[in-house]
Structure 1
Amino acid sequence: MSDGLAVDQFIPALLPHDAVGGHTLESRRAFREAGLAATIWARTIHHEYAGEARPYRQFGRLAAHSRQRRLLLYQAATVSHGIVEYLLDRPEPKSISYHNLTPPEFYDPFSPGVAAELRQAREELARLAPEVKLATADSEFNAADLRSLGVLDVRVIPPFIGVGNLRPPDATEVARLRAQKGGPALLFVGRLVPNKNHQQLIRLLATLRAGWNADAKLYLVGAPGPSAYVASLHRLAARLAPDGVVFMASIRGAQLRALYEVADVFVSMSEHEGFGVPLVEAMRARLPVVALDRGAVAETLAGSGVLLRSSELTFAAAMVARLIEDEALRSRLIEHQAQRANELERVPREDLIVAAARAAALAG
């Protein structure tokens, strides 16, 4: 039943295959199913989403002719390109859905421009925070970050996680990958950006090839980030593991599920994670996870998977090799991971997001 509340979500860019964009669309669905009016406003709208969002500067005209109570919900994950300034000039109650900002120091050596944008995004968030009485965050790690800026009431709600990897894997793609595999296969899924620490994954592969199995391969799946960073990865791979690293652009659905099917272990050496959706995808796909304990990784795994306290290569390589060779250990780990994935599936995200929006509007 409608309670007269309209939730207006603001996002810098609504793009395909984007986790924050997907979360925004799913949130809109939840609001509408609960009887709330819900609109997405953006600066950049990809042509595939032409009917899903409106230019954010048109919001004022709609609000001027509406008598509904409104909540302005900012999806925070990058520089706003003017949206935060716009929101600060509006009188309506405001809230934040926080998906984490990568520390700019990771980008300084590779892309000073992106680093500057991340610093600007942090400044924007600090300016918006005092206007917000209640916010949501993907993880307790992210919530603590938001509280440090002065938002006292932050509710932790795990993000909506796509169902693409639950589709049956593409049989043709599985056969192709198995044919070219040759040896044990490590997998990591995540954009080619500096905080993901792909260099250490390549070094880990080299360690495994030198001391355990010379045919081991590493699949790196993700859209390219700063060109200087991507080039450094290709140079390192050519030097340490010739023909051992397979770089793949972002893939989705049955193709991605095929990679999870063929790989032997999912390995993350990421130095900064606000949640880690691919960790959950791997757990869903019954693929053992070995991950460096940084950011929200331990929180997301919640006792499942193998958590590395450091990125020291000898121990990490030994653990990866053991997980591939020890079937009993592998099976126990997969079952623990499946339980954690099921826990995350059962979180009533829709109800929690709607309740948070209503409370934020009242707290105003």
Structure 2
Amino acid sequence: MKLSKKILTLLFALVLTVALAGCGGEEKPKAEEGNKDAAESEKLKVAFVYVGPVGDGGYSYAHDQGRQYLVNEMPDIETTIVESVPEGADSERVITELAEKGNKIIFATSFGYMDPVIKVAQKYPDVTFLHCSGYNTAENVGTYFGRMYQARYLTGIVAGKTTQSNIIGYVAAFPIPEVIRGINAFTLGVRSVNPDAKVKVVWTNTWYDPAAEKEAGKSLLEAGADVIAQHQDTPGPQQAAEEKGKFGIGYNSDMSAMAPKAVLTSAVWNWGPYYVNTVKAVKEGTWKSEEYWGPISDGVVGLAPFGPMVPEDVKQLVETKKQELIDGKFDVFTGPIKDQTGQERVAAGQTMTDAEMLSLDWFVEGVDGTIPK
């Protein structure tokens, strides 16, 4: 009996020990899960609004490449994207929803999002909004863009050296200063090496419409163009050029994969470093509203690798002029510059101000086309 009592006592103690150990074992995973949830909730939420699909091969694709760079550089943040958001009222709804969901930084990547951003920003003063290519700011709204006209000028040199017909086609989106500025810079580059060349412009009034943009490219080829440039978000114009055995200048991202036999080079965006710098500044509490317009020396704009059809002497010519831009020895919009009517708009030795470039509403000499009202 005494032995049985001792055995029972030992068994009871053993069961109690195991039970306590079991309770302790249950608590540990809960604590770890709680820490994980806390870590997740502490992640800074950053959102991106795109006007086209990420797979457009152009503008939205370039922005998303920048976002991916940001995620790789700052894995402690959480990003959200919303694709194919129409400009206007629908974008206001999307941006509002992103703010409501706890995103503390929202990048609105298209010109037509500007007014909706300003409206939403007034309701969410603790959220930082960045609007790409616009001009309206607020205490919690900044604008950002790059001096793409510098890269445009350089691609114009390539086009001017390549054309045999002296007709270069340009498929253009909307008649806003950004697009007009790009056409003018490209034309100045073309005529710096080929004064006889003309740049023929066709408007599509679209940012992303593969079929319409390709058709516009075809119409320019039928009009005698043997090089096709573009301010569009799809590689359609480049594909049209390749199908006709002609050449092209891509835009937004390196478009050579979509038309390898046609693309001489592309004027490209490199948003990644800007996104990293901006998010870091917000996290550190040093961000202030500004109108960022980065030059080629910042790396935010540049050129894609040259195609194998571009001669070495042309590559060297472009590299030399690029270095002059970086060093500040050359500026694209330095006079003398005449408009289509032959009237001098920028005197010799004078350089257009940023305000003048940002409001451009006329074409330089050498452009064949009109600007719709």
Structure whose CA Rg is larger? 2
Q: TM-score, normalised by structure 2?
A: 0.37
Q: TM-score, normalised by structure 1?
A: 0.38
